[in-house]
């Protein structure tokens, strides 16, 4: 199905993230989360005739939004392969990289993809439709201890035990095939006043597991050390605390646990310097226009 850019996704912290890239004519930039192409189109407007923009997206729907422009290179792949493709196109030492993490508005609204708690669809949740692991497999086949691991790791839930036992008990009687069926299974575990937030966190945890989002994010960030030129910008918008913690720690220390590596002389190896001391968050006006932006945090760092 062809999806227009405007239908696909409302870019969050749009102008703030583009300013953070410090785009200039003739520069080389990377957008690792192309989606509807909103950020990429604006980057191209500011690039000048000699500039280059490479964009990544593994979602087959994003390919409908490819920009016809000689300065634009589209890579139909997960951004965990960033360095491979940047090197292949002889673009090592880019001037800036943008990552707008999370799920696009389009993916949430397309019920058949299984991302939405509101729309019924198969339990899928794959960003890459050719990947073998689906949400249905996670929910029905993961051992109990693995369900505990993923919900404890990827969701801020107070009652993980109730969630896991509800899923395990239900699947013994009947396979859980759709988003609606999963929501029904979880009804007894849902806090009455925080139903949507609770269900969204459960779905989020499963989606992160299906797409190995934390693994891909770590690999991409580590590759930025070699991919981004000295003085180049790393601009990342995250949407939940786990992502944001990884991004913040990496930008500050070059590691994911927040403890910098040191050389034999005790000097810290910190490849980036934070530009934003605190994360940039949406304004009240943006929150009113786009409620989905409420959890967004923008961080910017410069390659040292």
Tokens of 150: 């993923």
Q: Which string of DSSP letters, residue by residue, matches 31-63?
A: ES--TTSHHHHHHHHHH-TT-EEEEE---GGGG
pLDDT in tens, 237-281: 999 899 999 999 999 999 999 999 998 888 899 999 999 999 999
pLDDT confidence of residue 1: 40
pLDDT confidence of residue 132: 95
**Which residue positions in the chain have pLDDT lower than 50?**
1-7, 106, 108, 111
The CA-based dihedral angle spanning residues 125, 128, 130, 135, taken in that order and rounded to the nearest 10 degrees: -20
CB 296 within 8 A of CB 274: no
In 3-state terms, what secondary structure has residue 298? strand
CATH 1.10.150.170 domain locations along the chain: 111-211
CA torsion sign, 200 to 202 to 205 to 206?
negative
Tokens of 262: 């040191």
Contacts for 43 with CB less than 8 Å, ≥ 6 apart: 18, 21, 23, 29, 31, 53, 98
Beta strands in the chain (DSSP E): 28-31, 52-56, 72-75, 94-100, 228-238, 261-262, 268-269, 272-274, 297-303
Distance CA 47, CA 24 (A): 6
pLDDT confidence of residue 10: 73
pLDDT confidence of residue 149: 97
Q: Which residue has the tokens 């937030």?
A: 197
CB 213 within 8 A of CB 242: no
CB 162 within 8 A of CB 147: no
5-105+213-303: CATH number = 3.40.50.150
- The CATH class that applies to domain 111-211 reads mainly alpha
pLDDT confidence of residue 61: 85
Distance CA 136, CA 142 (A): 10
CATH 3.40.50.150 domain locations along the chain: 5-105+213-303
Contacts for 73 with CB less than 8 Å, ≥ 6 apart: 52, 53, 54, 55, 89
Which spans in 58-188 are helix H?
82-88, 105-109, 135-141, 144-154, 160-173, 179-186
What pTM did the predictor assign? 0.90
Hey, which residues does 25 pair with through a beta bridge?
none
């Amino acid at each position: 199905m062809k999806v227009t850019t405007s239908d696909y996704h409302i870019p969050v912290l749009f102008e703030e993230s583009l300013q953070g890239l410090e785009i200039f004519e003739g520069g080389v930039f990377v957008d690792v989360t192309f989606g509807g192409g909103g950020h990429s189109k604006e980057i191209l407007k500011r690039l000048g005739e000699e500039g280059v923009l490479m964009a990544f997206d593994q979602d087959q729907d994003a390919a409908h939004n490819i920009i016809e422009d000689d300065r634009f290179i589209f890579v139909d792949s997960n951004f965990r392969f960033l360095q491979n493709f940047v090197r292949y196109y002889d673009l090592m030492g880019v001037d800036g990289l943008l990552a707008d993490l999370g799920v696009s508005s389009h993916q949430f609204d397309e019920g058949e993809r299984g991302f939405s708690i509101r729309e019924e669809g198969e339990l899928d949740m794959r960003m890459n439709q050719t990947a073998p692991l689906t949400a249905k497999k996670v929910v029905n086949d993961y051992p109990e201890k693995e369900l505990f691991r993923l919900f404890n790791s990827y969701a801020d839930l107070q009652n993980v035990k109730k969630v896991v036992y509800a899923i395990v008990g239900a699947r013994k009687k009947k396979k859980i095939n759709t988003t609606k069926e999963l929501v029904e299974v979880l009804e007894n575990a849902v806090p009455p006043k925080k139903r949507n937030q609770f269900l969204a966190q459960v779905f989020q945890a499963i989606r992160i597991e299906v797409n190995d989002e934390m693994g891909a994010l770590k690999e991409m960030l580590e590759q930025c050390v070699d991919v981004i030129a000295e003085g180049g910008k790393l601009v990342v918008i995250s949407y939940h605390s786990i992502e944001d913690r990884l991004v913040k720690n990496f930008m500050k220390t070059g590691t994911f646990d927040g403890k910098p590596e040191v050389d034999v002389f005790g000097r810290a190896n910190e490849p980036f310097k934070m530009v934003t001391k605190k994360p940039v968050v949406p304004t009240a006006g943006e929150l009113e226009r786009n409620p989905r932006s409420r959890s967004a945090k923008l961080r910017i760092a410069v390659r040292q």
